[in-house]
Structures are given as C-alpha cells and as structure tokens.
Amino acid sequence: MKAVWTIVRYGLEEALRRKVFAVVLLLTLGFLGLFWLGNHYAFKDLSGIGQPAGIDARDFAGSFIFGLAMFATLFLGVVLAIFLTLGAVRGDADRGLLQPLVVRPIGRTTFLVARFLGTVGVAGPYVLAVYFASMLITGLTGHWWPDRIVTPGLELAAAVALIAAISLLGSVFLTATANGIAVFMVFGAGLVAGLLGSIGHALNSHTLQHASKIAAYVVPVEALYQDALRQITADTTGLTQFVLELGPFGGAFIGGWQVRVWAVAYLGLVAAIALVGFARKDL
Amino acid sequence: MAAALAVRGLVKRYGRVEALAGVDLDVEQGELVGLLGPNGAGKSTLVKIACGLVRPSRGSADILGSPAGSPAARAALGYLAELFRFPGWYTADEVLGLHQSLARSRGGERERTELLELVDLAGARDRKVDAMSKGMQQRLGIAQALVGDPKLLLLDEPTSALDPVGRRTVRELLERLRGRGISVLLNSHLLSEIELVCDRVTILLRGEVVAAGAPSDLARPRGVEIETDEATLMYEAAGREDVPQLVADLVAAGRNVYGVSVLRSTLEDVYLDAVGGESS
C-alpha cells in the first residue's frame, strides 16, 4: 500500500511541477466566470421571451445551459486525466524515468494501478467540484435545479475515469504525443457520434440513432455523458422533454442501467489489456 | 549456494535481429564481473533481461535462484541504466527517499546519508537533480542502485559521464562493495577500468560470448624487453623464466643492463583480438 501511495504521489508531484494543475485551475476559473455571466443574462432575458406553447422556458433554459456546463466539465476533466496519464509508460520509458522505478519490487501492475488511482483521485473530485459549482451557479441565478442531483455528476466522474484508463492503455503502446492525440480523437469521435444520434432522433432516422448507440457503447464515455444529460431532465415531460432530447444539451435518449454496467465491464476490459500489455512490454 | 546471477542459453530476438544468441554467464556471490563488447553486442539487453525490463525469447536468467523479473529477484538487485533520468525537481535526498519507499528499505535517513557519502555527494543532499552535473547525476544513480542493500548490482555504463576523479571514486566504491560481499555485473567500454577492478570479464560479440575468464588468464605473454647501454632489445618468444639467462648472456657479452620488462598483453589487446576490430 505504501508503494501505491509513493507512485500516486510521484505522478501528482510531476503534474504539479509541470503546472498541469495551474493550467486546469485557470481554465476552470475562466469557465465558471463565463458560465455565471451566461446564466445571468440568459435568465435575466427569460421573462421577456414569448414562451412557445407546451414548452417550459425555465426548464428548457436551465437544463440546456446546465447541460452545456456538464459538457465543459467533462471536457476539462478529460483534459486533466489525459495530461496526467499520456506519458505514464512509454513516454517515461523513452526518457529513462520509468526503468529505475519498475525494477523495484513493487512490480508493473502496482505501478499502473497506482497511476490510475492517482489520476482518478484528482480528476474525479475535480469533476464533481466543477459539476456542483455549475449547478449552484445555475440554481442560484436561474432558480432551476436538475431532476437528479448526484447521479449525473458521478457519471461524469466515471466517464473521466474511463478516459484515464484508455489513456493509460494508450501510454503502454504509444509515445506521449501520439497517445494524447489518439485519446482526444477517441473522445471527439464519441461526441460526434452523440451529435449524430441527436440529429437522427430529430429526423426520426432509426439508422442514425442505431449507429450513434453503437458508437456510444464502443466509447462508453459518451454513453455515460448522454445518460447524465438524460438524468438532469428525468422528470421532465411533454414537448419540453422532446425538444431537449433533440440535444445537444439538456437531455438525451441514450441511457439506463445497461450503460453503467457496460461502463464497468469496459473499464475492466481496458484495465486487463493495459496490464497484460505492460507486463509483456520490453522497456 | 546459488549464483548471484546465472544466465543459461539466453536468446533475445527483436524481430529479425538477434540481440543475444545463446549466452551463458555466471556471477558468483561477492564477485565483480565485467561485461565487454562493441556497441550492439547485446550487453545492455543482457543486463535488462537480468533486471526484468526485457523478456527473453529463450533461455533463463536467475538472480540468487529466483527467475529474473520475479519480485524476489527484483528485491535482491540494484540497477543503474545506461540512459536514466531522475525527476529534475527532486533533490538527491528525495530521489533516495523515493527509492527507499519502492524498495521497502527501512534504512531511513541513516542509509541515505551513508549512500550520499559513499558516492561523494554528501554536500549536495538538498541540491535538485536539475542543478546537478551529469557526473553528479551518475553518482546519484549509483547511490540509488545501492538503496535497500542489494545482493547484486547491475551497472550499465556507470562511469560514462564521470571525470577521472569520479571514475576513481566509483572504482574504489566497487572494491568496497566487493569487500561487503555484493556481486557486481559491470557493463563498460572503459577497458582499463574493468581490468583494474573485475575478477572476471566476459566479452560479447554479436550476441555471443567470444571470450571469458580472469583478466590475468586472458592475457598472454608478449615477450621480454631489456634495456641496455647500446639499445633496447626485444625477445618476442621469451618468457619470465628466460630472463636470468638472457641477462647473463648480455652481461657476458660486455653489455650493461639497465632494465628488464616481462611483457603481457593488456585487456585491450585481448578485447581487440576477440572482437576483431569491430566497433558497432
């Protein structure tokens, strides 16, 4: 256990010295400031907007703008997770930093698990903090609160944990730069698939919806994000719900317990491949 | 008693390239063995297999009876890589502290102090790695390899960045380690250094052992050189046992003899004979 904590601390100290936390903190403060400004004007103007029949404007505005914050939270969490892990194996091995560590009795499995725990230990609470801060801003400014408070935040944190695992897997085989690009592209591909699904839902195209669903399961980060969006308007009904489900923020049609179970299985699969790959890798 | 390192029929292939082609090597407990060979001979690959960084294609490497790479084997060895780096923001003391944690050493501050003194870095305890010269980092690397009181040290080019004084420090350190019963496999290009400190040497060429033995056993007679008042005479076929007769003959012939040298080949000659002038 002491060795795990040593590696966790080692990884986090490295991020601290490379100013990863400072950059993420600045980006976060910038985002929260802009988000407050957006909320302030959106809800200020809300009373002056003619409400379309069947649509609750406050529900729509609140969930849409908070859905946008969830996307930003996920994105910032993903950036943090990727920068904490992108060079964990091959990147550090190429620079000669890894070899002196893994010849010690701790072993490679402990090393990789510790790097994952260290990343999740930072990125998870970070995502939850930004999520709840955004919720407070929207709630206090616009008097709108999501239908589910905790679950969507946990799903966003889980999505970031999945990205951390994918990034660690990539770091076993790819150089730091190639891995960073690859993981961002995987994340981006998932988002695009989600948008395509929304378009398919609007056009009532079953083919597009089906393709989007498959893509969301191939990259369950997107499925978890969609489920989190679905949760914030879980009790919303009628035309408001239908319009929100068209996306891209405020609602979604992909979700349910299957997504969460699959995310856990996916994490196990990614972890297994990463551990086996690392164990067999020549350094 | 199990050998500190026992390598049997070790083969390593990287695709079509055969880095090791069936190497046998033993490092007994308390023995200092030098590993020589041109670039690409397979020396670093052999050391990396011994410390579990690289998987062999065939054959075995055991550390004190445990397979290389196993937790027991890793716990028994200290390793200094040819190309290594420590995080630049760590101080010398923090680097050793990190490795104490990973090696589960209970030596604490006393061990760190002793190791820093051993490599002549006691005055740089709180200096950051980034602020150290390459030579200081290399000495810190050696101290790091000694954390946890290893039974076998695997040193891959440990003196490549050191100045003559630094090399001498490391040489004296290796002799002290031998005195403590620690086995060392020393991979180096510095033949004179290996000749001075190693009990045995193994020369690799294209992944195979081409010569092995004690430096004195590998060296062969190269004749006798006698300095007289007229000239320096060379007797290439003569050996140590011929010296009294040669001197007597010269004195009888009216020459004055000022010096006699019995010549033997150096490790460099042995090395060059073994590798045939190959450099990479």
How far A90 CA lies from chain B's nearest CA (Å)? Answer: 13
Q: Convert the pLDDT of each residue in A178-214 to its tens digit.
A: 999 999 999 998 888 888 877 887 788 888 888 888 8
**pLDDT of the residue at A252:** 65
How far B100 CA lies from chain A's nearest CA (Å)? Answer: 10
CATH of the domain at B174: 3.40.50.300
Within a domain: residue B230? Answer: yes
Q: If you count residue pairs, one on A and one on B, with CB atoms under 8 Å apart, how many are there?
A: 68
Both B173 and B252 in one domain: the answer is: no
Both B28 and B121 in one domain: the answer is: yes
Both B226 and B195 in one domain: the answer is: no
**pLDDT of the residue at B227:** 92
> Which residue is closest to B75 within chain A, CA to CA?
A105
One-letter amino acid at A222 equals E
**At which of B195, B215, B235 does a domain end?**
B215
Within a domain: residue B83? Answer: yes
Q: Is the pLDDT of residue B8 over 90?
A: yes
> Which residue is closest to A2 within chain B, CA to CA?
B101
The overall pTM is greater than 0.80: yes
Best CA proximity match to A175, nearest among A116, A89, A98: A89
Both B152 and B205 in one domain: the answer is: yes
CB of A98 within 8 A of CB of B84?
A: no
Within a domain: residue B17? Answer: yes
Both B122 and B247 in one domain: the answer is: no
Q: Is the pLDDT of residue B280 over 60?
A: no
Within a domain: residue B279? Answer: no
Both B195 and B231 in one domain: the answer is: no
Indicate the pLDDT class of residue B55, thresholds 50, 70 and 90.
very high
Residues 6+ apart with CB under 8 A from A201: A209, A245, A246, A247, A253
Half-sphere exposure of A175 (CA within 13 A, CB side): 4
**pLDDT of the residue at A80:** 92
Residues of B in contact with A14 (CB under 8 A): 87
Both B79 and B123 in one domain: the answer is: yes
CA dihedral A117, A118, A120, A126 (to 10 degrees): 160
Q: Convert the pLDDT of each residue in B135-150 to its tens digit.
A: 889 889 999 999 999 9
For A229, the token pair is: 């969006």
Work out the widest C-alpha separation in chain A, in whole angstroms.
Answer: 69
Residues of B in contact with A102 (CB under 8 A): 52-53
CB of A212 within 8 A of CB of A164?
A: no
Best CA proximity match to A166, nearest among A184, A150, A153, A148: A184
Both B31 and B90 in one domain: the answer is: yes
Asked whether this complex has an ipTM greater than 0.85, the answer is: no
Q: How far is CA B14 from CA B17, B55, B56, B156, in A?
A: 5, 11, 10, 20
- Rg of chain A, C-alpha, whole Å: 20
Nearest-by-Cβ selection for B84 from A6, A100, A282: A100
Residues 6+ apart with CB under 8 A from A264: none
Instruction: Work out the mean pLDDT of chain A and round it to a whole number.
Output: 88
The residue ranking higher by pLDDT, A18 or A247, is A18
Indicate the pLDDT class of residue B277, thresholds 50, 70 and 90.
low
Both B41 and B107 in one domain: the answer is: yes
Q: How far apart are the first and last CA of chain A?
A: 25
Indicate the pLDDT class of residue B263, thresholds 50, 70 and 90.
confident
Both B142 and B24 in one domain: the answer is: yes
Cis peptide before A248 (omega within 30 of 0): yes
Best CA proximity match to B7, nearest among B49, B69, B41: B49
Q: Which residue range forms the structural domain that includes residue B21? A: 5-215
Within a domain: residue B102? Answer: yes
Within a domain: residue B278? Answer: no
Within a domain: residue B276? Answer: no
Pairing relation of β-strands B221-228 and B232-235? Answer: antiparallel
Place of tokens 């592209």: A185
- Region of residue B128 (left: phi > 0; alpha: psi -120 to 50; beta: else): beta
H or E, element range at B130 = none
State mean pLDDT over A40-58: 78
Both B95 and B177 in one domain: the answer is: yes
Whole-angstrom Cα distance, residue B236 to residue A146? 98
Number of compact structural domains in chain B = 2
One-letter amino acid at A185 equals M
Q: Convert the pLDDT of each residue in B148-207 to its tens digit.
A: 999 999 998 888 778 888 788 888 888 888 888 899 999 988 887 888 889 999 999 999
Q: Is the pLDDT of residue B14 over 70?
A: yes
Both B246 and B211 in one domain: the answer is: no
How far A9 CA lies from chain B's nearest CA (Å)? Answer: 10
Q: Is the pLDDT of residue B100 over 90?
A: yes
**At which of B174, B198, B215 does a domain end?**
B215
State mean pLDDT over B226-242: 88
Within a domain: residue B82? Answer: yes
Residues of B in contact with A101 (CB under 8 A): 102
CB of B68 within 8 A of CB of B51?
A: yes
